[in-house]
Structure 1
Amino acid sequence: MSKEVIYTVRVEFGDCDPAGIVWFPNFFRWIDAASRHFFAECGVPRWEETAQTLGVIGTPLVDTQARFVATASYGDTLEVRTSVREWRSKSFVQAYRVMRGDTLILECQEVRIFGGKHADGRLRAMPVPDEIARLCGRETDVA
């Protein structure tokens, strides 16, 4: 079972639309921050370091799905609960539950890759580094 890491967000006035609810792109900004926070809390070094040691420059997003369940507004404190739902050979599925207390606000699932660079500078998907996956709670290697 993957670890779950919580990233806390306080909704500010500027995060809201004229109706006073969080403007939906802000959820994706917070989810992206929660993704990196997940790796940092699991002990994965900054991407600048993994670029040097493993060739991993980050975890680019290749697919996302979200389901909005309730609204959030100025002054709310939200928890973005992040885990890895599935490890694949060159990608992983990261899951997010945005909560306000016991109230589910949003569920999101993303497919991300571990990105590296070809010799000509183009992005490429790399095999999931075992050392990173283990830090994040994967117990066995992916075949």
Structure 2
Amino acid sequence: MTSAWSHRLRVRFHECDPQGIVFNANYVAYVDVALTELWREAFGSYEAAVAEHGVDLVVGSVTIDFRSSARPDDLIDVGLTLAAIGTTSITSAIEIRRGDDLVVEGTIRHVCVDAETLAKAPVPEPLRAALQAAYGPKA
């Protein structure tokens, strides 16, 4: 997979375990950082995008397959591609690379909820269109 959008990070020493490799849970944090930057680029900020439409997003699922390891001071690219937008959910394909080396791949699914009640809500059409433009598969 070639990601439609990516954000570069440098692995910091404190993100690693005693074996000197990135602790597994930190990969989810890296994805969250990349998604925050994607929303900033697409909408100005996450808050601006969701507040305007009265919705919020919650994580429904994350899957990660570990292919190799990142270490302190490595530059990694957290790649995201819009895999699917359902009625109430947004699924992103994840690909984390160190150069040409695939470190992690997987998916993260966010569920759109009403900002006040937290009940499932449809993905607003303006968000759907902007996300497709920001990191949807390119033709």
The TM-score bracket by the shorter chain reads 0.7 to 0.9
C-alpha distance 51-96 of structure 1, shift in aligned 2 (>3 A):
closer
CA deviation after TM superposition for structure 1 residue 40, in Å = 2.2
Alignment partner of 1:88 out of 86, 89, 94: 86
C-alpha distance 52-38 of structure 1, shift in aligned 2 (>3 A):
closer
Q: Equivalent residue for 1:33?
A: 33
Q: Which has the larger radius of gyration?
A: 1
2:82 match: secondary structure: strand
2:81 match: secondary structure: strand
> What 5-or-longer segments of structure 2 have no aligned partner?
134-139
In the alignment, the residues of structure 2 paired with residue 7 and residue 19 of structure 1 have an alpha-carbon distance, to the nearest angstrom, of 26
Q: Equivalent residue for 2:137?
A: none
- As a proportion of its length, which structure holds more helix? 2
Which stretches of structure 1, 4 residues or more, deviate above 6 A after TM superposition? Answer: none
Aligned residues: 131
Q: Equivalent residue for 2:52?
A: 53
Q: Equivalent residue for 2:129?
A: 134
Q: Equivalent residue for 1:4?
A: 4
> What 5-or-longer segments of structure 1 have no aligned partner?
139-143
RMSD of Structure 2 on Structure 1 (CA): 1.7
In the alignment, the residues of structure 2 paired with residue 36 and residue 82 of structure 1 have an alpha-carbon distance, to the nearest angstrom, of 12
2:14 match: secondary structure: helix
C-alpha distance 7-27 of structure 1, shift in aligned 2 (>3 A):
same
2:90 aligned partner, one-letter code: F
